[in-house]
Amino acid sequence: MKILLRLFSALLCFYFSGVFANNYLTLDDSVQLASSNIWCIPSADGNHLYLSSGTGNQIHLRTLNTYLREVSPPVLLIDLQEISSGSYIKDHQHVIFKGHIYLTFSTGGDDRLYLAKFSLNGERIGRLKTVASQDNGTNHLLMVTDKTAIYLLWGKDVQQQHMKKFDPDLKELQASVVHSPIPWPRLAHAVYANHQFYIFAGDITQRHLVVYHWDPDWTPRETFTDTLIHGLTGEKNYFSTGVNFDRQNNLWQIGYMHQQKAQDPETIKIAVFDNDFKLLDNRSIAGHQHFRPYMAQIDNHLYLSYDSDGDGVFIKKFRINDGLSYSTTFENIDFTIGAYPNPFRNKTGITINNPDAQNITLEVFDLMGKKVAKLYEGKLPQGNYTFPFIAPAKGNRIYLVKITSKDKQQTIKVVNRD
């Protein structure tokens, strides 16, 4: 029976798209965060997403449940005007470590690097700690934990990184300079897994996507680099700030920015690798003018955050599959579709981020393939839109919302819990 249901589900998706794929991620939901415009870092404690996002010279904490609903109002973590007037926030990162949020951020104007500890509801614990001052290498940070301590790395040059190690009370345990055998750029992400540190980045040319291997004491391993994605001439594969090691499925998911040619717009892609870095899946998940991907995992779902260069922060929720499931995300999609709330009671809003004016059709189907609503048909100008959908009085509980343009389409599932 399970096999028959799975086959039916795959055939149903084939009906809506005409495409099968060996995919490891299926888009379940997406939202745009209000009052947030750039650089959103997610982490998770198993029940909630904790997002630190920048707005001007402030950093706020947003807490979402697994349905991408905010469970409380945003909490102000950092107001730079209270710390250093005349400076500005350049970069920030955070991790969850031993049930607390540890936030680091760098400032321009005075070139300082700070570290602070917060409870999960955003209350600061102890004083704000100055890690470095008058250091212009703090613009690109790496923050990682091995579950025993916190490590901060920031650039000295392309082959050297300052490193400081802290205990849970922000006591400095170690300060050193990490030396790399080869140059590497600073738009990167660090992860501790398999008894080593991994740093994911483009190579120095930003053409190839590379992983750098370090021992737990931050000495380079004998096999220092693996090239994950080989770029063609003129291509760029870089800014791999979104990395998740899926311990449940022994998979790596890497979000990075891709540019086909120098004059082409940049897109965000997710690549999936096994634990030996064999490429399993690689696809675009956001249209152009989207930047800075970051990731977190709760159970069998992957959450991806990214921004639109100051025009909004977006969160996408993916179901992690076994590699044989159908995916409703498509290569080089020209729009982003979501639903809020989802699940819903009787009424929800279908959200569309449309980067370019184009003709689209937005329709809703039940699981038998019967069309229950046409929400829009015609030319849709560039912008963000919300189309209301009211479920039929005696309708089904699950619906498929399909958006179609000239040569691309995307389908999401919405659930009526009434």
In a domain, 16, yes or no: no
Does residue 393 form part of some domain? Answer: yes
Pairing of strands 371-380, 358-366: antiparallel
Residues 302 and 350 in one domain: no
Q: What total of structural domains would you count in the chain?
A: 2
Shared domain check, 382 and 234: no
Give the DSSP H/E element, type plus range, for residue 143: strand 141-145
Q: Is residue 75 in a domain?
A: yes
Residue 166 and residue 286 in one domain: yes
Please tell me whether residues 318 and 342 are part of one structural domain: no
pTM: predicted TM-score of the whole model, two decimal places: 0.74
Give me 290's structure tokens.
Answer: 């989207």
For the sheet with 141-145, list strands across it: 141-145, 150-157, 160-166, 172-179
Nearest residue to 400 (alpha-carbon basis) of 16, 18, 5 = 16
Spatial distance between the Cα atoms of 319 and 248, rounded to a whole number of angstroms: 13
* Strand ranges of the sheet holding 251-259, from the earlier edge strand across to the other edge: 236-246, 251-259, 267-274, 279-286
407 domain residue, yes or no:
yes
- The reply to whether 51 and 190 lie within a common domain is yes
Tell whether 127 is covered by a domain. yes
Q: What is the CATH number of the domain that holds 237?
A: 2.120.10.10
Last residue of a domain, one of 275, 302, 330: 330
On whether both 379 and 239 belong to a single domain, the answer is: no
In tens digits, the chain (418 residues) has pLDDT values of 444 444 444 444 444 333 334 468 888 888 888 766 667 899 999 889 999 988 778 999 999 999 999 999 999 999 998 887 778 888 899 999 999 999 999 988 888 999 999 999 999 999 999 999 877 677 778 999 999 999 999 987 778 889 999 999 999 999 999 988 888 777 899 999 999 999 999 888 888 999 999 999 999 998 899 999 988 888 888 888 999 999 888 899 999 988 887 777 788 899 999 999 988 888 888 766 778 899 999 998 999 998 876 667 889 999 888 654 333 333 334 567 888 788 888 898 898 877 778 899 999 988 777 889 999 999 988 777 889 999 988 766 888 888 888 767 777 888 887 7
Same domain? 160 vs 297: yes
Domain end position, chosen among 301, 330, 359: 330
**Of 306, 330, 354, the domain-final residue:** 330
Residue 59 lies in a domain: yes
Residues forming a β-bridge with 418: none
Residue at 15 is within a domain: no
Domain encompassing residue 252:
31-330
Q: Does residue 393 sit in the same domain as residue 316? A: no
